[in-house]
Structure 1
Amino acid sequence: MKVIIIEDEKPAARRLGRLLEELNVEVSTMLHSVGESIEWFHNNGHPDLIFLDIQLSDGLSFEIFDAVSVKSAIIFTTAYDEYALQAFKLNSIDYLLKPIDEEDLEQAIKKYRELKSGTNQLSVDFDDIKKLLTNPIEREYKKRFTARVGQHIKIINADEVESFYSENKGTYAATIDGRNYLLDTTLENLENELSPEMFFRVSRKFYVNINHIKDIISYTNSRLKIKLNRFDEQEIIVSRERVKDFKLWLE
């Protein structure tokens, strides 16, 4: 199986390459920009599988396929929210949310091999995906959550939550009044329920609300540290793989 990675963040590309090696998948090439990728495809045979970041340093990776007709299977590596991911599913491809989880990667490789060995097509309709990325489907996100407090049910408005976070297998809402409420949900479930304009998952452990960020500080290993208005019980660190997307989200 011939595999290439197209990812502009070289540390993220190298990490993905190492994870693939652990799954006995050899990466033949790593490319880091739209321009470099177009040139490579003009001079090389197409791989069996491409791991593709959507946002590259010199543009969207879809521009590669405007210039080159690629027949490879594609697994996206992305931080886009679920409305776009629905398009990826419909086009018989897979996606991995950054930072990439080892188990998710293993499942994606398994899915690719099953598709390849069967009769399913591995083609991608880039036009449909581009439309969804540039013209997202309007949808309603949750405006309220509930938490049990003794014998009472507490109603929590989404805009009053500074952060959602996980701790000791529980999921909590840290609110503007300095309280932490245990919720009957998971961060994975919240991913489909939170407005991407208001909340961003900065790490596997934390979602933060843009309206309650007090300060953003440079941190070790090219990461960022976030200070919220009230919540200060734990450090909130933007993982290195998500720094670029976090900065784009802020804008």
Structure 2
Amino acid sequence: MNVIIIEDEAPSARRLQRMLESLNVQVSQVLHSVEESIAWFSNNTHPDLIFLDIQLSDGLSFEIFDVITVKSAIIFTTAYDEYALQAFKLNSIDYLLKPIDDEELELAVKKYQDFKPINREVQLNFEDIKKLLVNPLEREYRKRFTVKVGQHIKLIPLDEVVCFYSENKGTYLHTMENRSYLLDGSLETVQEELNPEKFFRVNRKFCINIDAVKDIISYTNARLQLKLLNFNEQEIIVSRERVKDFKDWLS
């Protein structure tokens, strides 16, 4: 696999390169700007996969592809808020929120390996993504979920949800009544339908409701442990890479 990184912050690029090398993924080139990238693509064989930062020192990285025809799969690396993530997901192999989490990076690489395009150019709708970055659209988020209880369908308003979590390849909703219900779809799919002001993905397994946080406890390796209302089934740890974003979200 031939991989390059396009990232204007040298420490972030080095960290990502080390993380990829720990997964036995070799990075052949690191580029730092729109101008440098255009020059490189014009004179080199395009890689299989690009890890692409959105905002570079001399402009949005999409400007590269106004000049160069994309012949590589792309995984976005971005610090942008959740409003743009749906566009990233539809137009790329995956996206990774900064600071990048080790487990999510590994999953993104595996996703590329499982679904990599064969002998075709990647079609990215950069204009739609740029519109979202410059002028976020007003979104309608889910207000309730439907779950099946025996032969009945039950409506659960989001105000009654403590958290969403994944377990044994299933995705579950847990309520203030201390009951869990199986949902259709993945946790990623559910997360995209939630208001990011109210729900936060604290790690790979849990997305929590801010109103359900009962206690926050310092944990090992600069992490945080959460206690939620009416939820005692599993330990909930905010991953180290997400602690800062989590604290920002709380405030």
Q: When the two structures are superposed, what TM-score results if normalisation uses the length of structure 2?
A: 0.68
Q: Contact between 1:147 and 1:181, CA under 8 Å: does it hold in 2?
A: no
Counterpart position of 1:18: 22
**Partners of 1:12 and 1:241 within 8 A in 2:** no
The root-mean-square deviation of aligned C-alpha atoms, in Å, is 3.9
Contact 1:83 1:137 in 2 (8 A): no
In structure 2, the residue corresponding to 1:3 is in which secondary structure? Answer: strand
Number of the residue aligned with 2:5:
4
Q: What is the correspondence of 1:65-144 to structure 2 with a 5 Å cutoff?
A: 65=60, 69=64, 71=68, 73=72, 74-78=74-78, 81=82, 83-86=84-87, 89-90=90-91, 93-97=92-96, 99=101, 100=104, 102=106, 104-108=108-112, 114=118, 117-118=119-120, 120=121, 125=126, 128-144=128-144
Aligned to 1:211: 211
Structure 2 unaligned regions, length at least 5: none
C-alpha distance in 1, partners of 2:168/2:93?
Answer: 30
Q: How far is 1:87 from its partner?
A: 5.2
How many residue pairs match? The answer is 230
Shift in CA distance, 95/248, structure 1 to aligned 2, threshold 3 Å: farther
Partner of 2:158: 158
Flag structure 1 segments of 5+ consecutive residues without an equivalent: 32-36, 55-59
> What do residues 133-152 of structure 1 show as CA deviations (whole Å, max 9, x unaligned)?
34322232221123344565
CA distance in structure 2 between the partners assigned to 1:50 and 1:2 by the alignment: 6
Q: Which residue of 2 aligns with 1:34?
A: none
Structure 1 residue 207: deviation in Å? 0.7
Alignment partner, residue 57 of structure 1: none
TM-score for both structures, normalised by structure 1: 0.68
CA–CA distance in 2 between the matches of 1:221 and 1:82? 30
Amino acid at match of 2:5: I
1:52-63 to structure 2, matched below 5 A, reads 52-54=52-54, 60-61=55-56
| 1:183 matched to 2:182 | yes
The amino acid across from 1:215 in the alignment is D
- The answer to whether structure 1 residue 173 and structure 2 residue 177 are counterparts is no
Paired-residue identity, %: 46
> Partners of 1:240 and 1:197 in 2: how far apart?
20
Paired amino acid for 2:112: A
Deviation at 1:213, TM superposition (A): 1.9
Structure 1 188/205 Cα, relative in aligned 2: closer, same or farther at 3 Å? Answer: same
How far apart, CA to CA, are the structure 2 residues paired with 1:243 and 1:15? 19
Query: In structure 2, what residue type is equivalent to 1:226?
Result: L
Deviation of the 1:51 alpha carbon: 0.8
Cα distance in structure 1, aligned partners of 2:194 and 2:149: 23
